[in-house]
Amino acid sequence: MAEIEKLDIQSMNIKQEQIDKLKTLFPEIFTEGNKIDWERLKLTLGEDIDTGKERYGMNWPGKADCYKTIQQPSIATLVPARDESIDFDTTQNLFIEGDNLEVLKLLQKSYLGKIKMIYIDPPYNTGNDFIYPDNFNENLQTYLEYTGQVDNEGRKFGTNTDTDGRYHSKWINMMHPRLFLAKNLLREDGLIFISIDDNEIHNLRALCNEIFGEENLLQQIIWKNKTGGGAKTKGWIELHEYILCYSKNSTEILDINIPYSEKTSSMYSKKDENFESRGPYATWPLDTTSMGDRPNLKYPITHNGIEIWPEKQWLWSKERTLEAQKANMLLFNQQSDGTYKVRFKGYLKDENGIVRRGKPLSILEGPYTQDGSKDFQKYFSKNLFPFPKPINLLSELFQIKTNEDSSTNDDIILDFFAGSGSTGEAIYQANLKDGGNRKFVLIQLPEPCDANSEPAKAGYTNISEISKERIRQVIKSLKKPKEETISNKKSESKQATLGLDLGENSIGWAIINKEVSQPIQSVNSLDLGFKVFKLAPSNFKVWDSNIEKTPEAVQLAMQMHTEHINEQATQEALLYEILLKSGFELVTPIEKLNIEGKAVYSVSDGQLLICLEKEITHELIKAIAESQPVRVVCLDEGFRNNDQLKTNAVQIMKSKGVVKFQTV
């Protein structure tokens, strides 16, 4: 009898994925039993093998367990919560409630290599931070115990105090597997930004160097987050934090830039009738003293018969300067002593009529921490969340290397320490500023609020409830003022500028904390919704290999597996678990069809057909196959006690060109 392939209901097998990569690169190192022959690998790589015991690198207690954590697949699922969502059927935004380690594992199949940018604001490990478990045996069961979904007094989540003997190691053990899995999700041209302070900046940078590669560190940004009077640390008033920026692959990051601020754009105020297509221009000194000594940039420029020499050297080569002079793009300002200063015209648009973008600077001065609190308090009467990140800070970060291709507009931004939901609001703001269509995936643990805390008094049982409510309030406020358009009013309060980088014809990043003032798009064209999913055990009963090995225990487990689908599972929950485990995004379009009187779900315009009927007929199989989908998934229960139908189903699917036919 032809066997139907079973759908794997576990998350992606990271270990096997790594082995497959090795097999693609070095097929010659694998033995007949699919094992790696290290001697052959040494021969293949020759002298590039480091066999010494002493080598530079990062090591800490628990590192081996981190890799066990990564390699252990998840058998959980994400259950839709329609009643907590907005525009569930149409939105492309996701909010996932659950332990981010388990969720990141579950997203590996569906979002591998699809995330354009990641921003996270993880615990800073200041001594009383909430910390995730660092024992590789602690997984979904631990999460269920912690959130009170199963009865067990042994909660493993807690705080990491500075008196702990493995204070730094526990934090690193928490971060390592999450960053490893996050890197897998990034596109080749993707970026990750991580907020951190002095407590763990040294360990975080070393950890990221190991995971992403030191060559992919783009910048350790210094963020001046206070105006003054900050906490005194060992005699110093501390006014800053850091934002680390790494790329997935630095060779794919050809240019880092950001839209000009309103202040920078306003500097381009002069008109040039000869170059109207390039918009207004500003002028900048052609000579520079800030660059390293370049002899080829020391030459005279002749004007009115006078040779003009730079104080040190010119910005441009002689050929480029002569071309600019010929095109009337140089200005010669005569000084009182008869000498000339040379300035060049910098146009707002390039030769193709595209508005220029500036270069980000490595020091950000503002917006400040208190601005983040003000942002949050627009929607909540009390400060229910400590020190949320300022919206304008995140909005500016999200405009770097996203929304570059207006023809696709499919950039996804992930935040797996979502906190108060600042990332969601910042993405809405970034889209309003530049007409983008960025989408978000937010992940937040439902960390319980202490019974005596302000959030609990306000009616919030956990942090994720605050996150979701904030996004709902943001959506409500965006829809409320003017349904058609957002006002282009300028804010009177300017919060901070970062200065200008007057390199060769480039203007620096300047953050002006104003209301939306760039090209505005209609609120109605924005995706003002989000789908909520919650981490839960699989809807399909999975054999527990850890059960007690006694006849009674095994017999009881076998009885429980007579029905392998959870009795409480809804059809929609089953549908989304199959979607997730089949490698489709959670926002993939789904259409419910009626085929031979049975419900069949068409995923992504018929690429995948899912039938959840418990009574499958020959006519149904034939009709499904004749629609010629790429893949088909049915419930195994639908073929109960009908081996002949199973055999026929395999042959029918094969004859109609169905690439993969699976049951679950």
Residues in Cβ contact with 615 at an 8 Å cutoff, skipping those fewer than 6 apart? 638
Q: Are strands 590-595 and 598-603 parallel, antiparallel or unpaired?
A: antiparallel
Region(s) of the chain under CATH 3.40.50.150: 80-131+161-257+358-531
- Hey, what CATH class is 80-131+161-257+358-531 in? alpha beta
Tens digits of per-residue pLDDT, 515-551?
334 444 567 688 999 999 999 999 998 755 555 666 6
pLDDT of 490 reads: 35
pLDDT of 493 reads: 32
pLDDT of 84 reads: 97
pLDDT of 553 reads: 59
Confidence of residue 500 (pLDDT cuts 50, 70, 90): very low
Give the integer Cα–Cα distance in Å for 648 and 120. Answer: 51
Q: What is the mean pLDDT of residues 508-515?
A: 34
pLDDT of 557 reads: 55
Q: What is the mean pLDDT of residues 388-401?
A: 92
Half-sphere exposure of residue 232: CA atoms within 13 angstroms, side-chain side: 2
CA-closest candidate to residue 146, choices 138, 137, 157: 157
Q: What is the mean pLDDT of residues 450-473?
A: 92
Question: What is the chain's percent helix, strand, coil content, to nearest 5?
Answer: 35, 20, 45
Quick count: other Cβ atoms within 10 Å of Cβ 510? 23
Query: Whole-prediction pTM value?
Result: 0.83
